[in-house]
């Protein structure tokens, strides 16, 4: 399998890469090329996969086509793409810092859509491929504690839902992943976390869902129930909570 992992220096992306099979070809994309090089060497040694590191800054839109062309030249074709990049600032920082809020909204949503549009062209031409988008349970209902971040994920959810509709009967498949709290650098030190999952557990769930052609998963599974309950709480009660 030829795999592209975007935002490859994140804890989730590392775990996804480390579950590749022997003989797979991976390209790891990220801003910190030194870090990406280290991860590529580690995955190649431990998993027996062919791994190529490549620099990509998702805030640099002018580089998208050049980077994707390089990926296609290296792999020949792309079977699966994992969108693992993202920015999460606290609600307070996003509300007080216009640049922080703009970057978070742009990277989490706009950049994902624009890069997806480019990848889709080659996948649709082949009539096959998998796209996997890491969203968040934060996008299921606006909560005072993180609604700016959550809105970027809610927008992504709507995009992927529409994309799934568009891709019906094309041979190209899109998976939407909604993790709960995961033990990563992005969530480290945040107050009020509970039922925190390991990146390896979440990565395992993601790979299974990709292979089974699932459309949406909550991971771990119990977050589907938790978020269903949260979404069903009447507004007049919900607004009294501190979620």
CATH of the domain at 125: 3.40.50.720
pLDDT > 70? residue 239: yes
- Name the residue range of residue 194's domain: 2-238
Three-state secondary structure call for residue 199: helix
The whole-number average pLDDT for the span 24-49 is 95
pLDDT computed for residue 183 by the predictor: 74
Distance CA 123, CA 218 (A): 26
Question: 243 in a domain, yes or no?
Answer: no
- Residue range 14-42: average pLDDT? 95
pLDDT the model gives residue 63: 97
The token duo for 23 is 């003989």
Phi and psi at residue 194, in whole multiples of 5°?
A: -150, 160
Q: Report if residue 168 sits inside a domain.
A: yes
Q: Could you tell me where the beta strands, DSSP code E, fall in 115-220?
A: 129-134, 172-179, 216-219
Mean pLDDT (the chain, rounded) = 93
Q: Looking at residues 2-25, what average pLDDT do you find?
A: 94
Instruction: State residue 73 phi and psi, 5-degree precision.
Output: -65, -35
Question: What pLDDT is attached to residue 110?
Answer: 98
Structure confidence by residue, pLDDT tens digits, 111-132: 999 999 999 999 999 999 999 9
pLDDT, position 194: 56
Percent of the chain with pLDDT over 70: 95
pLDDT of 174-208, one tens digit each?
Answer: 999 999 988 765 544 445 555 678 889 999 999 99
Indicate whether 95 belongs to any domain: yes
Helix (H) or strand (E) holding 117: helix 111-126
Q: Show the tokens assigned to 206.
A: 């993601």
Instruction: Look at residue 229 and tell me if it is in a domain.
Output: yes
pLDDT at 138 over 60: yes
| pTM for the whole structure | 0.92
- Percent of the chain past pLDDT 90, that is, above it, reads 89
Q: Is residue 150 part of a domain?
A: yes
Residue 157 domain flag: yes
pLDDT beyond 60 at 6: yes
pLDDT at 86: 95
Question: Does residue 80 lie within any of the structural domains?
Answer: yes
Q: Assess whether pLDDT exceeds 80 at residue 25.
A: yes
Residues 79, 1 contacting (CB under 8 angstroms): yes
Looking at the domain assignment, is residue 149 inside a domain? yes
Query: What domain count does the chain have?
Result: 1
């Amino acid at each position: 399998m030829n795999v592209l992992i975007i935002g490859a220096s994140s804890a989730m992306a590392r775990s996804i890469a480390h579950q590749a099979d022997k003989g797979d070809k991976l390209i790891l994309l990220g801003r910190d090329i030194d870090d990406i090089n280290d991860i590529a060497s580690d995955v190649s040694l431990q998993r027996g996969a062919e791994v190529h590191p490549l620099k990509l800054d998702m805030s640099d839109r002018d580089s998208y086509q050049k980077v994707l062309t390089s990926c296609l030249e290296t792999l020949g074709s792309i079977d699966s793409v994992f969108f693992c990049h993202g920015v999460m600032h606290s609600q307070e920082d996003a509300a007080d810092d216009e640049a922080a809020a703009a970057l978070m909204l742009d990277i989490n949503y706009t950049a994902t859509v624009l890069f997806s549009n480019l990848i889709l062209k080659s996948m649709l031409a082949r009539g096959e491929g998998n796209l996997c988008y890491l969203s968040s349970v934060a996008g299921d209902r606006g909560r005072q504690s993180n609604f700016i971040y959550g809105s970027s994920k809610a927008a992504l959810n709507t995009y992927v839902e529409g994309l799934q509709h568009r891709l019906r009967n094309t041979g190209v498949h899109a998976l939407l992943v909604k993790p709960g709290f995961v033990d990563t650098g992005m969530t480290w030190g945040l107050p009020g976390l509970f039922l925190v999952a390991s990146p390896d557990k979440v990565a395992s769930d993601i790979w299974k869902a990709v292979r089974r052609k699932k459309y949406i998963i909550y991971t771990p599974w119990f977050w589907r129930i938790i978020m269903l309950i949260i979404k069903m709480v009447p507004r007049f009660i919900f607004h009294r909570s501190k979620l």
